[in-house]
Amino acid sequence: MELIFGTHNHNKVEEINKLLPPNFTVKSLTDLNYYSEIEESGKTLEENALIKAKTIFNTFKKNCFSDDSGLEVFALGGKPGVYSARYEGKQKNAEANTNKILQELKGIDNRQAQFRSVIALIFNETEYLFEGIIKGEISHSPRGRNGFGYDPIFIPEKQHVTFAQLTLFEKNKISHRSKAFKKLIEFLKS
Ligand code: IMP
């Protein structure tokens, strides 16, 4: 079975390929030479994932899926959420984004947070949503060099280190994205 994954991020493609049974083939937007910008104008992760999946479906008329993820900080009312990539401006600077969160949490005891990932699948012209969550808390300062985005300030539950202190293999075993990917794959296999 062939599916289009609405991403140019080869790390994400590699991550899902490692989980997929051999009879599935995933093609990325890079594989398909599709470089148009898809505007992520939704107000929720669900809306953005669906906008991307629908755009791809309307272009290729093939089974496809897209993901959108974000960090949700409890004491900030779920922010930055859907705005995670551009929390501190359009330049999408990960260090500036993490510093902004640390600044906003100064003096606040409740540092609970979660990463949430939503996958929108269009399969046989029907829409489906799959969600993956990893709960944890925000550290007091950045730690670790691995990963990307908010990884240096996110301590997943049952761990004492940040996502950026885990190897990619360790992170992928518990991450929000891998949980959502696994739900998608269970659905496709059934
Ligand atoms: P995307 O939807 O996967 O591209 O994620 C959007 C933004 O959410 C990223 O640019 C990061 O700021 C943040 N984010 C999502 N997943 C992760 C993660 O696993 N680690 C750190 N930051 C993440």
For residue range 104-152, what is the model confidence (pLDDT) as tens digits?
Answer: 999 999 999 999 999 999 999 999 999 999 999 999 999 999 999 999 9
55 pLDDT above the threshold of 90: yes
Q: Is 181 in the pocket of ligand 1 (CB under 6 A)?
A: no
Pair 176, 161: CB distance under 8 Å:
no
At 26, list the tokens: 């995933």
CATH ID of 2-189, from 3.90.950.10, 3.30.70.100, 3.40.190.290, 3.30.300.30: 3.90.950.10
Residue 84 CB–ligand 1 contact under 6 Å: yes
Mean pLDDT along residues 157-176: 95
**Ligand 1 pocket check for 148: Cβ under 6 Å:** yes
Enter the pTM of the model.
0.95
Domain ranges of the chain: 2-189
Q: Give the residue, by CA position, lying nearest to ligand 1 atom 8.
A: 70
